[in-house]
Amino acid sequence: MEKSGSKKRFLVIVPVISILVLLFGWFMYREYRLSRSYKLYKSASGYELANNYETAIKVLQEARGLNPGNPEISAKLASVYLRAGKTDAGIRILKETIAAHPAYSIAYYHLAFYYFKRKQYKTSKQYWQRFLDTNRDAMYDSIARKRLKEIDAFLSQE
């Protein structure tokens, strides 16, 4: 009788321990990916500041591959693409980011600024307004409001 009870406990304990080990392994792998993507994201900023856009793009693409749901990485990648003159890729990534994360205001900011610099004021104005609707940072609000005033002045001259 005793052997039967210990055998049943063994049959219960082994799968439970196996599941716990698998969950721990999955958690550690996930944390490694997030940590690695964060380090890559940070190193890409240095490349961007040094105007080494190609390296920054490669590093950010790797970071995005490790953490594809992170809108901050995607927006940074798009921003570097835009600064490198690869506008189609930058715009596409920003629009993908907005589609996946409509409350992520920085993607609107980058699009608004891009169109403003290209003197596409009507499109820029739409993105500045969306930015203001989603943004929670007063410093950036003042930038957006300033740009909107400038756009209104440009549009009134047309």
Question: Cα-flanking dihedrals φ and ψ of residue 68, to 5°?
Answer: -65, -20
Same domain, 93 and 145: no
**4 inside domain:** no
Distance CA 43, CA 37 (A): 10
**Residue 86's CATH number:** 1.25.40.10
Query: 148 lies in which domain range?
Result: 104-158
Structure tokens at 54: 């190609």
Q: Tell how far CA 151 is from the center of its chain.
A: 27
Same domain, 56 and 81: yes
Element (H, E) at 92: helix 87-100
Same domain, 88 and 119: no
- Please identify, among 61, 80, 101, the residue that sits at the C-terminal boundary of a domain: 101
Binned at pLDDT 50, 70 and 90, residue 1 comes out as very low
**54 inside domain:** yes
**126 inside domain:** yes
Same domain, 94 and 146: no
pLDDT of residue 32: 56
**12 inside domain:** no
Same domain, 91 and 112: no
Same domain, 60 and 49: yes
Q: Which of 69, 73, 67, 68 is nearest to 33 (CA)?
A: 67
pTM across the whole model: 0.75
Report helix, strand or coil for 63.
helix
Same domain, 120 and 152: yes
**114 inside domain:** yes
Same domain, 35 and 89: yes
* Total structural domains within the chain: 2
pLDDT one-digit tens code per residue, 76-103: 999 999 999 999 999 999 999 999 999 9
pLDDT one-digit tens code per residue, 114-132: 999 999 999 999 999 999 9
